[in-house]
């Protein structure tokens, strides 16, 4: 019996990147978070723009930062913020060293600089000046880059051993292996294969009856029938919907500093799950999420589904009050559309032309104008706490009730805020007038004037207080009588206008207007001058046009990644110059072509990949192969993987018998009328459920506890690949957490009710947890363990009738902690 606790760590390949070239993630962090702040606040005095940089310090190059100024002390010490004078200066902790002198940076900006230095201060700038004008892109030359070329339909390669190939995919895999003199390992056994496929497609362990049925099926299409059965399961959508929710950074809260809940966000989550189960064509899936409210519909139900789909845009992260930082929400939208659909870091062009990919800043603001012409549902913030612009899921004659209700409450938010500002100003003036009168009295030869200071002209504090009382009373009245209508956290058409380029990404420093349109490298279409809509409808078409060389490639690469452990392109969100080149470019294009030919069917793509011999390979080692392909980039074996957080939790629920397989609805949030969340007392909630983990309530500012322990997705940014950590906390969780104890206890009851004899109980537990029978040695070890635990429980005076159940629960926590339970071969 395997009793190891998380002993298998992920091997990391040595990087071949030059030492002076930062990692892609670090370069992107610098371009988005650091460079704009330096340009806006530092370059006037500490760059080539200044004829004589102050103190001899240049901040427009990495070399200048490391060299430091006239003092000879470096401005940054990569990896150590506490020793970096730049960090000391922006913190304002030293009265003699405070930069920038015109005012301290925001707390978030300071944290970004600290994070950047901890990362090693990655800086992609090549020259000694960051202000040099970049030459216009040569788009003709840029389109020669592999990902911007149209996908080809390559012929199947010739191989020396054509009998090995079960599908065309295998020809591409084998050709690469043969070219390197490598031989694939043998196939996985049937038990391993059905466990692998069941977790891959449903995120759950296979039922023991399904395992036995597969073992008994000797037909050539036995595995094909397993795949088809799993694809038809409603659990398929829950598993693969979760993958998409990772990519689009789904959360049930807004992400602002008070992190307001969004009770109707779940509708978008369930839309995603249903779309996967229905095998909705991927191009239609994308069109609905970008412009569903603008698409034609045959029924009211279809219309509402299309509206809910635009929740993809609405769930963009919020940062501050209603308008002040909304440009950051639009940036988050553009960043996610770029990475999720196109595999491009478009948002790097927010402050300047993209330094690596052919995306000028003008193209960024061409997209920005489309989204700034869109009305996003407003989830509420500390000051403006009432929702606004949620979209009614009701006929037009009823929808107006919700719209008017939302607008009036939002208007009252504005009114109360303005009245509070007015009241504070009046009180300040009254205090100043009183102080002046008192001073004048003291100076008048000791004659004391008993009269109060003069009241400022205009409205009085009492009048403002009366207005505040009336506004709050009306607010309470409206809060207690919300329209009984369904609403969606979605988007709709807003005030249409092109955006102006924001110099250095500063919305207060506007440049020329950028006509709304698409990326020039992908066609560069522009909206007609007389276009009266936002342009989302056209954008949805441009994105999903089969001639777009990126969309099909990016998605089939994601499907491959989730099946094989890593993508053909191993940077799933970056198909640009800073990303990795495909290991099998011909295979990637062949799959993209098949994807489009299938009508963008994701289920067809699953079948194509999973019925290949490459998918059926064992996860065995081969020292000769590893010597020349240590990372298994050429796919000579299958990669063993640890279950992700949701799979671990769901597997525990499944084997214990507690899993509720029904689809979840809304979370148990407090009523909106009770929301008083602030940055000091933000919303926080954990709602327990026995449903699938995809239905757990997920916050932006704080992770759900189980998902935090086991490396759940980041809800603040797109997650293309889950990190995998191995920590003592994970082992301690399995031994001590109430959830683990509850599932182990239920597992004990399930096994105990099925069999009375200890050997049979152990064997049954192995079949449920691992999909195989226990060996004689495992039965012997299990019996010895149970006997010892019962003796220990007896010594602490646990009632005898409880000892067997408690001992089994202890034993099953060990099974939950084992590598065999937590990994898939």
Judge whether 476 lies within some domain.
yes
pLDDT band at 714; cut points 50, 70, 90: very high
One domain, residues 429 and 480: yes
In the numeric block, which tokens belong to residue 695? Answer: 């239905």
At which residue do the structure tokens 């609403």 appear?
Answer: 487
Higher pLDDT, 7 or 644: 644
Rounded average pLDDT over 7-27: 48
Name 297's Cβ contacts closer than 8 Å, sequence gap at least 6. Answer: 303, 305, 306
Residue 816 DSSP label = H
- Helix or strand (DSSP H, E) at 557: helix 551-564
- 660 touches 690 (CB < 8 A): yes
Which residues form the domain of 587? 162-204+559-641
On whether residue 70 sits in a domain, the answer given is yes
Share of the chain above pLDDT 90, in %: 75
pLDDT at 210: 97
One domain, residues 35 and 119: yes
| Position 387 in a domain | no
Are residues 183 and 95 part of one domain?
no
CA pair distance 502, 510, nearest whole angstrom:
5
Q: Residue 782 belongs to what H/E stretch?
A: helix 776-795
Quick one: angle between helices 800-817 and 758-770, nearest 10? 30
Q: Are 231 and 603 in contact (CB under 8 A)?
A: yes
- Shared-domain flag, residues 116 and 167: no
Cα(741)–Cα(811) distance, integer angstroms: 11
Residue range 189-223, pLDDT digits in tens: 999 999 999 999 999 999 999 999 999 999 999 99
Inter-residue contact 2 to 777 (CB < 8 Å): no
Per-residue pLDDT at 794:
93
- Look at residue 364 and tell me if it is in a domain: no
Higher-confidence residue: 656 or 323?
A: 656
Structurally, the chain folds into a number of domains equal to 4
Is residue 308 a part of any domain in this protein? no
Q: Could you tell me if residue 545 is inside a domain?
A: no
- Confidence at 25, pLDDT banded by 50, 70, 90: confident
CA distances from 23 to 19, 47, 466, 641, 673 (A): 10, 25, 59, 25, 47
Identify whether 812 is part of a domain.
yes
Do 167 and 117 lie in a common domain? no
Q: Are residues 738 and 804 in the same domain?
A: yes
Q: Average pLDDT of 388-417?
A: 92
Pick the last residue of a domain from 641, 667, 685.
Answer: 641
Choosing from 123, 151, 180, the residue where a domain stops is 123
Asked which of 73, 93, 123 is the last residue of a domain, the reply is 123
Are 121 and 107 in contact by the 8 Å Cβ rule? The answer is no
First vs last Cα of the chain: how many Å apart?
A: 16
State whether residue 98 is helix, strand or coil: coil
In 3-state terms, what secondary structure has residue 5? coil
* Helix 602-610 with 222-231: angle, nearest 10 deg: 150
Give the pLDDT band (50/70/90) at residue 430. Answer: confident
Q: How confident is the model at residue 470 (pLDDT cuts 50, 70, 90)?
A: very high
**What is the enclosing helix (H) or strand (E) of 391?**
strand 391-392
Is the per-residue pLDDT at 47 higher than 80?
no
By CB atoms closer than 10 A (0-12, 13-18, 19+), residue 683 is buried
What's the pTM? 0.85
Condensed to tens digits (0 to 9), the pLDDT of residues 634-645 reads: 999 999 999 999
Q: Write out pLDDT tens, residues 757-804.
A: 999 999 999 999 999 999 999 999 999 999 999 999 999 999 999 999
pLDDT for 127 beyond 60: no
Reported as type and span, the H/E element at residue 736 is helix 728-736
Is the bond preceding 619 in cis, omega lying within 30 degrees of 0? no
In this prediction, residue 251 has a pLDDT band, given cuts at 50, 70 and 90, of very high
Q: What is d(CA 717, CA 732) in angstroms, rounded to the nearest whole number? A: 29
Q: What is the CA radius of gyration of the chain?
A: 31
By mean pLDDT, which of 13-22, 485-494, 507-516, 557-566 is the weakest?
A: 13-22
Secondary element (H or E) of residue 487: strand 487-488
| Average confidence (pLDDT) over 323-338 | 91
Average pLDDT, the chain: 91
């Amino acid at each position: 019996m395997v009793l190891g606790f998380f002993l298998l760590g992920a091997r990391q390949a040595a990087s071949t990147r030059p030492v002076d070239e930062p990692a892609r993630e670090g370069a992107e962090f610098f371009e988005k978070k650091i460079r704009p702040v330096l340009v806006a606040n530092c370059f006037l005095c500490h760059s080539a723009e200044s004829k004589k940089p102050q103190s001899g310090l240049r901040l427009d190059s990495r070399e200048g930062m490391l060299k430091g100024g006239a003092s000879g002390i470096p401005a940054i010490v990569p990896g150590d913020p506490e020793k970096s004078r730049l960090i000391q200066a922006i913190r304002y902790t030293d009265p003699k060293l405070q930069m920038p002198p015109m005012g301290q940076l925001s707390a978030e900006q300071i944290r970004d600089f600290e994070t950047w230095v901890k990362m090693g201060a990655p800086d992609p700038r090549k020259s000694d000046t960051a202000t040099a004008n970049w030459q216009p892109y040569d788009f003709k030359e840029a389109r020669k880059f592999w990902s911007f070329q149209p996908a080809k339909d390559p012929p199947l390669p010739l191989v020396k051993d054509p009998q090995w190939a079960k599908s065309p995919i295998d020809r591409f895999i084998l050709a690469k292996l043969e070219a390197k003199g490598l031989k694939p390992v043998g196939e996985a056994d049937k038990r391993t294969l059905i466990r692998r496929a069941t977790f891959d497609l449903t995120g759950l362990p296979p039922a023991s009856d399904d395992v036995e049925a597969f073992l008994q099926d000797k037909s050539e299409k036995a595995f094909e029938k397993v795949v088809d059965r799993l694809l038809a399961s409603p659990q398929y959508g829950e598993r693969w919907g979760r993958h998409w929710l990772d990519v689009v950074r789904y959360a049930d809260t807004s992400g602002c500093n008070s992190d307001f809940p969004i009770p109707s966000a779940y509708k978008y989550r369930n839309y995603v799950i249903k779309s996967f189960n229905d095998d909705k064509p991927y191009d239609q899936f994308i069109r609905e999420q970008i412009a569903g409210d603008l698409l034609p519909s045959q029924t009211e139900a279809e219309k509402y589904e299309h509206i809910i789909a635009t929740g993809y845009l609405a769930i963009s992260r919020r940062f501050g009050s209603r308008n002040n930082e909304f440009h950051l929400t639009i940036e988050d939208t553009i960043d996610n559309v770029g990475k999720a659909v196109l595999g491009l870091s478009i948002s790097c062009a927010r402050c300047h032309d993209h330094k690596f990919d052919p995306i000028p800043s003008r193209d960024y603001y061409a997209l920005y104008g489309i989204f700034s012409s869109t009305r996003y549902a407003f989830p509420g913030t500390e000051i403006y706490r009432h929702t606004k612009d949620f979209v009614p899921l009701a006929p037009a004659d009823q929808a107006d009730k919700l719209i008017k209700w939302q607008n009036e409450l939002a208007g009252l938010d504005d009114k109360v805020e303005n009245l509070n500002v007015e009241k504070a100003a009046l009180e300040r003036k009254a205090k100043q007038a009183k102080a002046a009168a008192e001073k004048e009295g003291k100076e008048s030869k000791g004659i004391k004037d008993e009269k109060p200071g003069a009241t400022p002209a205009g409205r009085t504090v009492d009048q403002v207080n009366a207005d505040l009382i009336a506004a709050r009373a009306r607010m309470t009245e409206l809060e207690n009588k919300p329209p009984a209508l369904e609403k969606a956290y979605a988007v709709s058409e807003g005030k249409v206008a092109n955006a102006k380029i924001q110099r250095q990404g500063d919305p207060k420093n506007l440049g020329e207007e950028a006509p709304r349109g698409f990326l020039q490298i992908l066609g560069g279409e522009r909206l007609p001058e007389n276009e009266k809509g936002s342009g989302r409808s056209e954008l949805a078409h441009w994105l999903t046009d089969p001639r777009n060389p990126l969309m099909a490639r990016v998605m089939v690469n994601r499907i491959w990644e989730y099946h094989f452990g890593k993508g053909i392109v191993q940077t799933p969100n970056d198909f640009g110059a800073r990303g990795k080149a495909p290991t099998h470019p011909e295979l990637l294009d062949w799959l993209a072509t098949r994807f489009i030919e299938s009508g963008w069917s994701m289920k067809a793509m699953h079948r194509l990949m999973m019925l290949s011999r490459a998918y059926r390979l064992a996860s065995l080692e081969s020292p000769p192969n590893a010597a020349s392909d240590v990372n298994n980039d050429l796919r000579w074996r299958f990669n063993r993987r640890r279950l992700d957080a949701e799979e671990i939790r769901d597997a525990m629920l499944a084997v214990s018998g507690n899993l509720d397989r029904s689809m979840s609805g809304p979370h148990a949030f407090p009523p909106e009328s009770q929301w008083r969340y602030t940055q000091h007392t933000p919303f926080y909630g954990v709602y327990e459920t026995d449903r699938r983990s995809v239905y757990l309530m997920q916050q932006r500012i704080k992770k759900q506890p189980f998902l935090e322990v086991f490396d759940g997705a980041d809800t603040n940014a797109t997650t293309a690949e889950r990190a995998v950590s191995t920590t003592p906390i994970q082992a301690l969780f399995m031994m001590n957490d109430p959830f683990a104890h509850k599932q182990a206890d239920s597992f004990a009851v399930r096994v105990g009710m099925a069999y009375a004899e200890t050997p049979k109980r152990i064997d049954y537990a192995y079949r449920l947890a691992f999909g195989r029978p226990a060996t004689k040695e495992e039965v012997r070890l299990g019996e010895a363990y149970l006997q010892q635990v019962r003796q220990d429980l007896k010594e602490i005076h646990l009632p005898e009738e409880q000892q067997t159940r408690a001992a089994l629960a202890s034993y099953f926590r060990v099974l939950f902690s084992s590598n065999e339970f937590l990994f898939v071969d």
